[in-house]
Amino acid sequence: FGALDKNEVLTPYGKLMAKLPLDPYLSHMLLTAKKYGCVKEIATIAAFISASNTMLRPPGKEEAADVAHRQFESKISDALTFLTIWNAYLEHAEDPEWCFANFLNEKAMMEVRDIRRQLLEMLAEFGIESSSTTDMERVLKTVTAGLIHNLFKRKEKTFSYQSVLGEEGEPVFIHPGSSVHDALPTPQLFVAGEVVRTTREYARMCSQVLPEWLHELFPEKFSKEKDVLVEVKSYSPVVSKKGAGRNQRNTSGKKAPLNRKYKGKNRKQR
């Protein structure tokens, strides 16, 4: 990330990263957002990754919760799912009843709000403007830049993946809780927020990657001739440039129903 010089001493960029109350990869992702003009979006995504799980699946109500959550899903990226949840949360004026109706953890959403606010305030102190964009490709490139250490490539004719930059190790699978898990066509290349071990190695908080982004973001690591680019050159998930995954919510075009009684009305966002 350019945080250390050749003597492994913090660079000015590394010192700036260290001031943020985040893991290094999230700090880098947030600072990269300045280049792509998506600081607000990345601050939101970093807040979701840092906070407690916002999605609830109460025992006996798993199916209802899954249906409610489906309205927010982006098959391209969990990061876009986070943005869709956040935008809807603001549209409903942070209403606790709306959270309850949609099986969202109200306390976790408040945690996201507070972390996001803190990050934007800190960036303002660094002289970084709170830019925003509707171009989701810019957002996804920034996510890729931050999570590049967890870049995975699909193994041929399987549903498992191998690390691109690290040792191959055990096969990795997309976690069933990820909105990318059942994406079609099957993702060929993605980055992940973390890898957890249960019965298998599972990648969580996944975001699909276009191979050409790698050369743009890390030209010193990924030449256009590098194997990972050649092998997935025909791979091209549709990325929306307008809105946080709204066009991926529901292919039927119908709004997913609420699964708990909600009487609140939309209020102006704060």
pLDDT of residue 94: 97
Question: Which among 82, 103, 60 has a CA at the least distance from the CA of 261?
Answer: 103
The torsion of the CA quartet 76, 266, 117, 72, rounded to 10 degrees, works out to -20
pLDDT of residue 227: 52
Confidence (pTM): 0.83
Domain boundaries, the chain: 12-125, 147-236
pLDDT of residue 166: 83
Left if phi > 0, otherwise alpha if psi is -120 to 50, otherwise beta: which for 185? beta
pLDDT of residue 172: 97
pLDDT of residue 265: 39
Query: Which stretches of the chain score pLDDT less than 70?
Result: 224-270
> Residues 103-127, buried b or exposed e (16+ Cβ, 10 A)?
bbbbebbebbbebbeebbebbeeee
**Tokens of residue 108, six digits:** 């976790």
